[in-house]
């Protein structure tokens, strides 16, 4: 079993990650404060010393802690998403962690297909396919912070030999939530149908990012379900980490 530290473990993706790792790997949840149902290490990612202590003895770090809002201010993403991610990578390097799975986002590419430039979670009705190696076009300060996090991970992979997976995560929703949001106006509905990530696909994708033999490092891949309406390519995800999505927003909305 691999020993995995999971920052941001109390969020929706964090809880799905813990569920996906359960029974396969040893996971240490890390949260910003006490949360119901999670026995976690409590720390702030702005505290380097605390991260050093928390990561010691772990093989992999899954870094999810961030301000996840596309509406987040520059000050918030600067302190948590940018400075915090630097601290995570430095702590991973100094404590001998082998791999960092960085929770990036679909928002690093969303300006290719934005429906309304003032509303990041919208898409044009006839979107252009986007592949992992396309240049970044972030739609928000949040997206910018994740472009930074990917670049920082690339640096630590190239300079320090860390295995790095930049995992561009879609919109994790239960099927019931998907059906509710799919009734929104067309630009919003197009976006959610394209970006949907089902809970079970999230669990499997996060586990594969932790345990797969990587064909190269750093590696950037998209993590969404096998949606008919997706425009982010998941071919690379399936080939590189063995991701096998089971769900499709079109079928879940029938």
Catalytic annotation present for 155: no
First vs last C-alpha separation in the chain: 39
Q: Which of 89, 112, 141, 142 is catalytic?
A: 142
Using alpha carbons, select from 141, 148, 154, 199 the residue that is nearest to residue 172: 199
Q: Provide the 3-class DSSP secondary structure of residue 242.
A: coil
| Residue 5 CB neighbour total at 10 angstroms | 28
| Residue 213 CB neighbour total at 10 angstroms | 8
- What's 94's DSSP letter? H
Cβ atoms of 224 and 196 within 8 Å: the answer is yes
Phi then psi for residue 244, to 5 deg, are -130, 85
Q: Would you please indicate which residues are annotated as catalytic (active-site) residues? A: 142
């Amino acid at each position: 079993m691999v020993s995995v530290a999971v920052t941001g473990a109390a969020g929706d993706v964090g809880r799905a990650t813990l569920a996906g790792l359960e029974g396969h790997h040893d996971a240490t949840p890390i949260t910003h404060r006490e949360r119901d149902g999670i026995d976690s290490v409590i720390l702030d990612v702005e505290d380097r010393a605390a991260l050093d202590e928390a990561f010691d003895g772990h093989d992999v770090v899954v870094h999810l802690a961030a301000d996840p809002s596309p509406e987040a201010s520059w000050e918030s993403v600067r302190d948590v998403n940018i400075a915090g991610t630097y601290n995570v990578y430095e702590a991973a390097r100094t404590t001998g962690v082998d791999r960092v799975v960085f929770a990036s986002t679909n928002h690093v590419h969303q300006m290719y297909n934005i429906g309304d430039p003032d509303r990041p979670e919208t898409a044009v009705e006839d979107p252009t396919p986007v592949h992992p190696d396309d240049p970044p076009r972030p739609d928000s300060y949040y997206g910018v912070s994740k472009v930074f996090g990917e670049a920082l991970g690339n640096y630590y992979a190239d300079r320090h030999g860390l295995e790095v997976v930049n995992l561009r995560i879609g919109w994790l929703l239960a099927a019931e939530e998907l059906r509710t949001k799919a009734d929104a106006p067309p630009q919003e509905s197009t976006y959610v149908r394209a970006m949907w990530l089902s809970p079970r696909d999230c669990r499997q994708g996060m586990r594969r990012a932790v345990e797969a033999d990587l064909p190269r490092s750093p590696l950037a891949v998209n993590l969404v379900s096998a949606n008919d309406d997706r425009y982010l390519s998941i071919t690379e995800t399936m080939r590189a980490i063995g991701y096998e999505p089971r769900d499709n927003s079109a079928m879940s909305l029938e």
